[in-house]
């Protein structure tokens, strides 16, 4: 907390004195965010224009040309680096604090003339065999600041890179010409498409677990750990997917000067894809619960069967134990004690009783 309070104070000071015009070359030279910049470009009429890599100089160039905007990509910037960007672009300190510390839920917030959106990125982790400790879904985050003439993306995690997306958009200048909201839509669309890919891969793991559980009709306690781990990973995917529904609905319905009217319809398409993923993930969660219950029922049935067998054999062994116990008391007047065939007769009686009891248990399915 001692580190966050001075940082927040600096952000609030920068917010009160945020620039609204061009940026001087001296200020651009002092910007500390250049080290965290993955890419920085100025776009005008949907085409990429030559621009300096420094964010302050780039936004200064964009603001000197009508209809131009700058797209800056940052990867895990430090507090100092993001504070410098916040000062140049007038970002709200609360949004900047969220972008620095990450681990946020998907959300959409508006601060005056800036939109701040958080999206959870996901990646399927390949594995040879699912175990009780396997990581199936790896998550990261992409934060997007959208203004009238800028887009700033802050990425956390080793996946979810936006380089290929940027190149794809640059090949469609008509889309980029619609402004920063077109970039926001493209990022949201890519994130949701990755949800679909990961959901399909997770379905294969669920099918493997389901086949393993029902192939072993006796059930296996070892499967419980694998099923529970897969359920945790599905819940991780669900935490990324479910909260994003409301932000996409807001972008597709609300009239905002920061979202181009034609782009709103594209957000509706992304929301439809997200609903499909959400339905799949909800179904996966319920299916895993059913598989877990089926496996536990199999294990319980196996235990009950084993107990019946143990009980049956205990009843069979009780017959010779009882007879031998009676004759082992060494009484003087025992049945057929002095008869020559008394001992064989007792053995025959014991064997006959055992056979009859064993036959009865087999007939009833206990053995």
The mean pLDDT value for 92-107 works out to: 89
Round to whole Å and give the CA distance between 198 and 203. Answer: 9
Please provide residue 220's backbone torsions phi and psi, each rounded to the nearest 5 degrees. Answer: -150, 125
CA dist list (Å): 327 to 19, 53, 318, 339, 340: 107, 102, 14, 14, 16
* Highest-pLDDT range among 41-45, 75-79, 101-105, 318-322: 41-45
CB atoms near residue 178 (< 10 Å) = 17
Q: Tell the burial category of 169 from Cβ atoms under 10 Å away from its Cβ (0-12, 13-18, 19+).
A: buried
CB atoms near residue 167 (< 10 Å) = 11
Structural domains present in the chain: 4-298 (3.30.460.20), 300-363 (1.20.58.340)
The model's pTM is: 0.75
Round to whole Å and give the CA distance between 276 and 5. Answer: 42
First to last CA, the chain: 68
pLDDT for res 218: 59
The distance of Cα 72 from the centroid of its chain, to the nearest Å, equals 27
Q: Which range (69-73, 158-162, 262-266, 287-291) has the least confidence?
A: 158-162
% of the chain beyond a pLDDT of 90: 40
Q: Which range (94-103, 201-210, 213-222, 296-305) has the least confidence?
A: 213-222
Q: What is the DSSP letter of 34?
A: G
């Amino acid at each position: 907390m001692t580190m966050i309070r001075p940082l927040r104070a600096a952000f609030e000071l920068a917010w009160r004195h945020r620039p609204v015009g061009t940026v001087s070359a001296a200020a651009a030279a002092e910007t500390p965010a250049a080290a965290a910049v993955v890419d920085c470009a100025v776009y005008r009429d949907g085409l990429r224009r030559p621009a300096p890599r420094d964010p302050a100089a780039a936004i200064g160039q964009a603001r000197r040309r009508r209809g131009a905007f700058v797209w800056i990509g940052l990867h895990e910037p430090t507090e100092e680096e993001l504070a410098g960007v916040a000062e140049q672009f007038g970002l709200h300190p609360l949004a900047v604090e969220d972008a620095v510390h990450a681990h946020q839920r998907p959300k959409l917030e508006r601060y005056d003339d800036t939109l701040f959106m958080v999206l959870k990125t996901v990646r399927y982790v390949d594995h040879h065999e699912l175990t009780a400790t396997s990581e199936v879904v790896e998550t990261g985050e992409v934060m997007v600041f959208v203004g009238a003439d800028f887009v700033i993306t802050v990425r956390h995690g080793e996946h979810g890179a936006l380089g290929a997306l940027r190149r794809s958009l640059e090949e469609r200048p008509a889309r980029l010409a619609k402004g920063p909201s077109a970039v926001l839509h493209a990022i949201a669309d890519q994130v949701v498409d990755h949800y679909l890919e990961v959901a399909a891969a997770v379905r294969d793991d669920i099918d493997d677990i389901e086949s393993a559980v029902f192939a072993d009709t006796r059930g296996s306690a070892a499967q419980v750990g694998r099923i529970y781990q897969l359920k945790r990973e599905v819940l991780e995917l669900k935490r990324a997917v479910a909260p994003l529904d409301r932000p996409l609905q807001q972008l597709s319905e609300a009239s905002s000067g920061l979202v181009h009217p034609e782009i709103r319809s594209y957000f509706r398409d992304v929301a439809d894809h997200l609903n499909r993923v959400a339905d799949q993930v909800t179904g996966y969660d319920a299916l895993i619960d059913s598989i877990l219950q089926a496996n536990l029922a199999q294990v319980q049935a196996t235990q009950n069967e084993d107990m019946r067998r143990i009980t049956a054999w205990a009843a069979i062994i009780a017959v010779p134990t009882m007879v031998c116990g009676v004759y082992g008391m060494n009484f003087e007047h025992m049945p057929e004690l002095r008869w020559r065939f008394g001992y064989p007769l007792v053995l025959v009686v014991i064997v006959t009783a055992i056979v009859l009891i064993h036959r009865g248990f087999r007939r009833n399915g206990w053995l």
